[in-house]
Structure 1
Amino acid sequence: MTFVKFNQAPAVKSFGGLVEEIFNNAGFNKAWKDDFHTHDFYGAYPPVNITETKDAYQVDLLVPGLSKEDFKINLENKTLTISAEKVAESKDENQKQLRREFSFRSFKRSFTLNEQVDAEKIQAKYDNGVLKLQLAKKENVQDAAKVIVVE
Structure 2
Amino acid sequence: MTYVKFNNTPVAKSFGGLVEEIFNGANLNKFIKDDFNTADFFGAHPPVNILETKEAYVLDLLVPGLNKEDFKISLENKVLTVSAEREKEAETKDENQKQIRREFSFRSFKRSFTLNEQVDAAKIQAKYENGILKVTLSKKENIQDPVKAIVVE
Partner of 2:127: 125
Among residues 138, 141, 146, which one is paired with 2:140 in the alignment? Answer: 138
Partner of 2:55: 55
Closer, same or farther: CA 96–45 of 1 in aligned 2, 3 Å: same
Matches within 5 A, 1:1-151: 30=30, 34=34, 40-42=40-42, 44-94=44-94, 95-146=97-148
- Is residue 75–residue 81 contact of structure 1 (8 Å, CA) maintained in 2? yes
Q: Give me the identity figure in percent.
A: 71
- Is residue 58–residue 135 contact of structure 2 (8 Å, CA) maintained in 1? yes
Runs of 4+ in 1 over 4 A off after TM superposition: 29-33, 35-39, 146-151
Q: Report the RMSD for the aligned CA atoms in angstroms.
A: 3.0
Structure 1: distance between partners of 2:37 and 2:137: 31
Q: CA deviation at 1:111?
A: 0.3
Structure 2: distance between partners of 1:33 and 1:141: 54
- Worse-superposed segment, 74-83 or 33-42: 33-42
Closer, same or farther: CA 66–115 of 1 in aligned 2, 3 Å: same
Closer, same or farther: CA 115–31 of 1 in aligned 2, 3 Å: farther
TM-score (norm 2): 0.71
Q: Which amino acid aligns with 1:135?
A: L
Structure 2: distance between partners of 1:136 and 1:100: 41
- Is residue 64–residue 132 contact of structure 2 (8 Å, CA) maintained in 1? yes
Structure 1: distance between partners of 2:98 and 2:149: 80
Structure 2: distance between partners of 1:43 and 1:131: 18
Q: CA deviation at 1:35?
A: 5.5
SS at match of 2:65: coil
Q: Which digits, 9 at most, give the CA deviation of each residue in 1:39-62, with x for residues without a partner?
A: 624164111000000110000100
